[in-house]
Structure 1
Amino acid sequence: MNTAWALLGIAGILEIAFAYSMKSSEGFTRLVPGLLTVAAGLSSVFLLSLSLRTLPVGTGYAVWTGIGAAGTAILGMVVLGDSAAPMRVLCIVLILTGVIGLKLVSGS
């Protein structure tokens, strides 16, 4: 796997950690989750920026947000008890299909 894609994947996972720790910080009223939110967010954006040195910006950004959105929704269902209604799951599958499609048609 190309280094840029690996960095982008890690950035996407950090985006999920960012969202989860933001929820745990309860509006930045809890110190440790608040610090984790800042660290995960900054790290995610930094790794995204490194991956965009070689990946097309539209592809990189779409994949990053797709990983973050789908991953956070799945984490919410599994860990936080968010709704797992069939239409919601279908929409997540469509996001992941788009992310995979962008990777497959990318020239990198």
Structure 2
Amino acid sequence: MGWLTNPWTLLVLGGICEMGWALGFKYVRSDAPWWQHAAVLAALAASMALLWVAMKSLPAGTAYAVWTGIGALGVATIGILVFNEPVTHLRILFLALILIGIIGLKAVSGET
């Protein structure tokens, strides 16, 4: 199976697209140019489509948990690094737990 058809690759790409639409929901203002709104909608559609395709091969619960985990971890990290959102020891701890959960779900899935 090529890397572009690997369900885990598709799931990671879907999680990255989820980061795009989630950040777009937060930071694209209502008076932004039309193309910014179109980009948010495209990221939303791509994210859902990639999750859907990945779920054809992966358990639904695992795929959904990993997809949302990637999105949550990525948006929180970008918020900290780019948008100066608060960073505390507990926030870092819980983000690390999300990462551990993603890695753990991949490790126990038995899929390559």
Q: TM-score scaled to structure 2, two decimals? A: 0.90
Structure 1 residue 41, shift from structure 2 partner: 0.6
Q: Does structure 1 residue 58 correspond to structure 2 residue 79? A: no
Structure 1 residue 29, shift from structure 2 partner: 3.1
Aligned length: 107
Equivalent in 38, 41, 59 of residue 41 of structure 2: 38
Query: SS of 1:15's equivalent?
Result: helix
> Quick one: distance in 2 between partners of 1:32 and 1:81?
26
Are the counterparts in 2 of residues 22 and 33 from structure 1 also a CA contact under 8 Å?
Answer: no
Q: Does structure 1 residue 100 correspond to structure 2 residue 103? A: yes
> Quick one: distance in 2 between partners of 1:15 and 1:47?
10
**One-letter amino acid of the structure 1 residue matched with residue 52 of structure 2:** S
- Structure 2: gaps (5+ residues): none
Structure 1 residue 33, shift from structure 2 partner: 2.3
- Structure 1: gaps (5+ residues): none
> Quick one: distance in 1 between partners of 2:28 and 2:35?
8
**One-letter amino acid of the structure 2 residue matched with residue 84 of structure 1:** V
Name the Cα RMSD after superposition: 1.3
Query: Which residue number in structure 1 is paired with residue 31 of structure 2?
Result: 29
